[in-house]
Amino acid sequence: MQLTGMLYGSRLLNYVGFPTAEVLGPEASEDEIQRLIEKHGTIFIKPLFKGGIGKKGKAGLLGRASNLKTALQEKERLYFVEHKVKNTTAKAQGVTFEGGVPADHEVYFSITDSTRYRAPVITLTHKGGVAIEELEKKYVAEVPFDALTGLKAFVIANALSDIGAPKEIDSPLVQQLPKLWELFHHYGMTTLELNPIRMMPGKGGRLVPVACDFKCGFDRDDPRWERLSLPHHLFTVEHSDFEQEINQLRTYQGQSDVYVINDQGTILAPTFGGGANSLVSEALGDKAIISSDFGGNPPYEKMRDVARICYKHWLKQTNVLFVIGGKSNNTDIETTFRAMADALQDHFNQNGPTPLYVVIGRGGPNLIRGMGAFKDTLDALGLPYRIFGFDSAMSEVVNYALAADDWMRAGGRQEVNNLLGIDE
């Protein structure tokens, strides 16, 4: 759950009284844009992306205008622009118009949790406005601090002193930056980054830090972010319909993490346990439709719903239904298998049979009763299957599933169709 840009960023910063650049949204009228230009001289036009995607400046996705005509041309250029960073492609859904902030100093500031220090940590430099990793280390302060006392002014003061920041920016930053801890810690954030903060001359020449770009990540297991009343649609772009549907079942009882690996895949692998998920996803590659962790001892109803949603979205294209996990410690195999088998029976009842080869590998409490329940259902549905004990290497079971998929692709699917009397 990530948020970038000043449209919503400025609203969040306003909660804690941190100064921000003036921002207009995509709905801004020409008059409003004109007024913004008149007030600030220069304005920036930035594409509006949902979720978190960076490196927009480097990709030439930053428009700059000092008259309305240019501003509107930039708006047209950037309104639906596509932006690709590594594996992520985002499409803009509008632009923002942000008033230029004249300044001699640009500051980078972030708060996140550090696994090196096992504590919240700030990163601060007075040479901001560029990618932080490109700076010399002597200009970058990385300072852990105590979560219970929070980010105090002295932490900032010490950090600025360590990196030799110009003295005129010390006092305003020491005064303003601690406010960001309130935003970070009390609204369920995991990262907060302002880059740049432009140090704008204010009354009497005193500098005021003005946030000109905003990025943050929220912890989806922390309901505090809902206090911000952000529209939920800001985060929906991260999820497919399938993921969205599964996420609605997300409770603390049982994991329900899913990710669509390849929507053209042919192995549907509900996986139990984070470790098994990693191992199986790696081994199946793009044959896998989804990556999932349904462990954590989900109750029957939840497991049945999860299975129902998986089947609804993917069973039709599936060659191999592959239920896989290690030897569970506390996940009840009878409960989870019965739920998955019942959901499979329901799916066949409602949608008719579909050709499947079923491969199962699992261990854990009530194992044989669980395997028995699944076996009975598969027998009743007339599907071919193999069920492996936990004394079979999980990787071997994965290889077996891959071989089953190969066979299904090479005519096996038709044979199962014939077996079930399906005209596919």
Partner 1 sequence: MKRKGIGNFKYYVGISSLEQLATREDRVCVLNLLGGESRTVSPVSHTFSGGNIVFGTSPGRAGQVLKTKKGNIPVYNNVREGLEAGHHFNTGVVYLPPSGVRDGVAELVRVNPELRKVIILTEKVAVHDAREIRAIGQMEGIDIFGANCLGLADSWNRVRLGGALGGDHPEESLIKGSVAIFSNSGNFTTTIAQYLATGGWGTTTSISSGKDVYIHFAAPEFIYAFSNDQRSKAAVMYVEPGGYYEHDLQINKPIVACVVGRWKSKLNRAVGHAGAMAGSGDDAEAKEKWFMEAFGVNDIFTPENRVFSEKGAVVTNIAHIPLALTEVMNLSRIEPDFEPMGDLSLKSWFGDSKGLALPAELDVPTVEAIPPYKGQIQELNKQIGRIFPRTNMKDASGVSIMDPKTQITKLHGRSILDNSLKSLESNLCFALLREHNGPNDNALTNIAIAAQVNLYGEMTIQAADTAREAGNAPNTVLSAAIAMIGPNRINRQQQIIAAFIDLFSQSGLKDGMKEDFDLSNIEIPEGLRKLLVADAPDEKTEAILSAITERNAKSLFVKLLRDLQEPVHMDAVLAAIAMTIAWSPLARKRISKITAKNFPWYLTIYATLIGASVDGSHHQKDSYCGIPNESLLRSWTFGEIAYLTLLGNQAAPEQLFAFQVLTGLLVSNGPGSISSQGSKGAVAADGPETPNRVQINKAMIGFLTHTGFSHGGAGFEGVTHLVDAFKNTNLTDPSDPNHGLDLTEMARSFAIEYGKQKAALKESTGGRMKAIAGLNHPVFKNKPVNTDPREVFIDELFKKREQYNVFHEYYQTLARQLFEAGVTHNVFCVNIDGVIGAMLLKMLWSQYREGQLNSRKLEVAAFTIFLYGRMMGCAAEINDHINRGKNMDTRTPASQCRYVS
**Which residues, 219 to 258, sit near partner 1 by CB under 8 A?**
219, 221-224, 238, 252-253, 255, 257-258
Residue 368, interface with partner 1 (CB under 8 A)? yes
Q: Measured from the CB of residue 43, what is the shortest distance to partner 1 in angstroms?
A: 30
Instruction: Pick one of 148, 229, 231, 233: the residue that binds partner 1 (CB under 8 A).
Output: 148
Among positions 27, 136, 391, 423, the unique one binding partner 1 when judged by CB under 8 A: 391
How many residues does the structure list for the chain?
A: 424
- The neighbour count for residue 168, using CB atoms within 10 Å, is 14
Please report how close the Cβ of residue 164 comes to partner 1 at its closest, in angstroms. 24
Kind and range of the H or E run holding 388 = strand 385-388
User: 395 to 414, contacts with partner 1 by CB under 8 A?
Assistant: 395-397, 400, 403-404, 407, 412
Tell me which DSSP letter residue 148 carries: T
**Least distance CB 230 / partner 1 (angstroms):** 17
**Binding residue for partner 1, selected from 216, 295, 313, 323, defined by CB under 8 A:** 295
Amino acid of residue 204: G
**Which residues, 307 to 326, sit near partner 1 by CB under 8 A?**
325-326
Q: Is 350 a residue that touches partner 1 (CB under 8 A)? A: yes
> In angstroms, rounded to a whole number, what is the distance separating the alpha carbons of residues 330 and 203?
64
Rule CB under 8 A: say whether 267 interacts with partner 1.
Answer: no
- Please measure the distance between the N-terminal and C-terminal CA atoms of the chain and give it in whole angstroms: 40
Angle, helices 367-381/333-351, rounded to nearest 10 degrees? 10
DSSP-derived secondary structure for 316-368 = GG-SEEEEEEEE-SSS-HHHHHHHHHHHHHHHHHHH-----EEEEEEESTTHH
Of residues 83-102, which lie at the interface with partner 1 (CB under 8 A)? 86-88
Closest approach, Cβ 141 to partner 1, in A, equals: 17
Distance CA 424, CA 422 (A): 6
Question: Of 30, 38, 82, 146, which lies in the binding site for partner 1, with binding defined by CB under 8 A?
Answer: 146
Q: Which of 29, 330, 421, 423 touches partner 1 (CB under 8 A)? A: 330
User: Of 32, 241, 376, 424, which one interacts with partner 1 (CB under 8 A)?
Assistant: 376
How many residues touch partner 1 (CB under 8 A)? 98
Q: Can you tell me which residue has the tokens 């003036």?
A: 22
> Smallest Cα–Cα separation from 240: which of 265, 272, 216, 262?
262
